[in-house]
Amino acid sequence: MALLNPFTLGAQATATKRPNIVILLADDWGFTDVGAFGGEIATPNIDALAATGVRFSNFHVAGSCSPTRAMLQTGVINHRAGLGNMPETIPPEHLGRPGYEAQLNNRVVTIADQLRAGGYRTYLTGKWHLGHTPDTLPTARGYDHALALAQSGADNFEDKPNLLIYDKTEWSEDGKPAKLPTRFYSSTLIIDKMISYIDSGRSSGKPFLASVNFIANHIPVQAPDADIAAYAERYTAGWTALRNERRAAAIAKGVMPGGVAMGTMDTSGDWSKLSPLERRQRAGAMAAYAGMGTAMDREIGRLIAHLKAIGAYENTIFVFLSDNGAEATDPMAMSAFARWNTNLQYDQSIAQQGRPGSLTAQGAGFASASVSPLRGYKFTASEGGLRVPMIIAWPGNPAIKGGSVAAGFAHVTDMSPTLLAFAGVAPQQGSFAGRRVEPMIGLNLSPMLTGTASTVHPTDRPLGYELSGNAVLFKGDYKLVKNLPPYGDGRWRLYNITADPGETNDLSRSDPKRFAVMQDDYVAFAKANKVLPMPEGYTAPSQITANALRTLLIPRLLKLWPVAAVLVIAIAALIWWRRRRRRASPS
């Protein structure tokens, strides 16, 4: 693959000294979970990257993990990449339709494919969630080596799945089932393996792509004891106080406009009305969440320290982002069956929260604080689900103004073309290795890094998005959005998300012309990308339950069948013996 002219951000991107690329992808982090974005969670290593790089305060992803990962890897909208919906939330009648393969399809090419063809070493560790068969795992999609989790999440201390969704874990290494240590911690394991991959190829002299995909802070929320203990008393004031605190801090950090309006999240509940026991449980869950974030940050620091030790830090581009907003789902706040099943499978005592053997979740209340001052959270198309912290840093490049904030609109599909430009590798434009592929729709963000442009997206260019019936049309400063139940009422609304990122002022009536034009734009997007309407009565949470039952119940019943058969035979034998005995007894 031909190399481009040296990239304008300094002399690093030459054919002889092209930059390394490290992508640090967090799981389910809200907009203000990072210290540099206004959070109280200790994230000194991520904050240090922000101090040397640029924070993007208007950066958008998908409302859940695998659609974001597909767009990050390819620069192609999720419907064309095969992730029109996730395996866990897709209705059966959609599965296998064009764009709904529920895995990364063969019509797209990854950034790893392109960088490897351009002379890079390519490595991935952690969550993949874009396919689980040998032909859809990372080493079949451009990565030289990969330790990958094919599912949405797993236990962080042992090789155990989320037992409410999966029957077994699907960790693989280089396309084959992986043997994990008996005990480990996920963030440590992910960094250990990435360091070993980087070191194994150092003698080649080639630059590397390191895609580091944490499962922190996905459910189950788990962390080392010391990290949880550090936040033991931090959250006793509740989520409303924290939501207000973070709003003020986000303004002070420059990632939110002064005076930003903030709505009330009606799904979070009233902290003051909880019993003392409930408050203790919720504050403890948030302490575990914060501890998990700090543990992840510490591992990022360990990777950075290693790159400094081997002389690779200055010429490495770091990208930090979250795959979607904070997760509000909590099995212990759902149906009686969900609570019973969770208590059956896990130790759910308050003292055990976040520790081995527990299944801890942040819950809707503290999730509303994690996304402060935004509205909504994971799965929704509201800003709290789609707008996430993103940082790009290149420590040795003086053209990047350290500590600055880029407030213009940016999108996850922009990452692949941006990183390819940094690497001096010509991006695919509809063909790769002699075959036709979906062209990338993302744009190069480098003018936003140097401050020569506030955004690279033309104000008249619409960008559509849909997942599980929750839909968006971005255009300039404006956003057309609708959320299906249980996250909304299915009605379209219009917001200026530059002036009103908290989505507090619906402009659909006061700006009817724009509202109508953007609705037409969305219809055109949906038609061009073959977006399917959701089945009657569909909700993402109920579909997760239905899909889990379909994949778990039958296998578990089959496992129980031998026991059931023995019981039936034993009962039948007992009945036969008793009848025979009665017949043999004198009348």
CA angle 99, 105, 106 (to 5 degrees): 130
Contact 317, 419 (CB under 8 A): yes
Contact 212, 24 (CB under 8 A): yes
The catalytic position among 60, 129, 218, 411 is 129
φ, ψ for residue 464 (rounded to 5)? -95, 160
Region for residue 29 given its phi and psi (left: phi exceeds 0; alpha: psi -120 to 50; beta: otherwise): beta
d(CA 528, CA 64): 22
Three-state DSSP class for 279?
Answer: helix
Contact 347, 356 (CB under 8 A): no
Three-state DSSP class for 87?
Answer: coil
218 is catalytic: no
d(CA 85, CA 105): 13
Which candidate, 129, 149, 136, places its Cα nearest to that of 64? 129
Q: Which DSSP symbol is given to 77?
A: -
Torsion, Cα of 474, 23, 136, 199 (10° steps): 170
Quote the tokens at residue 535. 């089945």
d(CA 29, CA 217): 7
Q: What is the enclosing helix (H) or strand (E) of 304?
A: helix 276-309
Residue 352 burial class via C-beta count within 10 angstroms: exposed 0-12, middle 13-18, buried 19 and up: middle
Residue with tokens 């980087």: 198
Residue 257 burial class via C-beta count within 10 angstroms: exposed 0-12, middle 13-18, buried 19 and up: middle
Which candidate, 474, 484, 464, 480, places its Cα nearest to that of 534? 484
Contact 443, 417 (CB under 8 A): yes
The catalytic position among 60, 65, 79, 411 is 65
SS3 string of 37-55?
HCCCCCCHHHHHHHHHCEE
d(CA 543, CA 88): 7
Contact 218, 28 (CB under 8 A): yes
d(CA 88, CA 391): 29
129 is catalytic: yes
φ, ψ for residue 317 (rounded to 5)? -90, 125
Residues identified as active-site: 65, 129
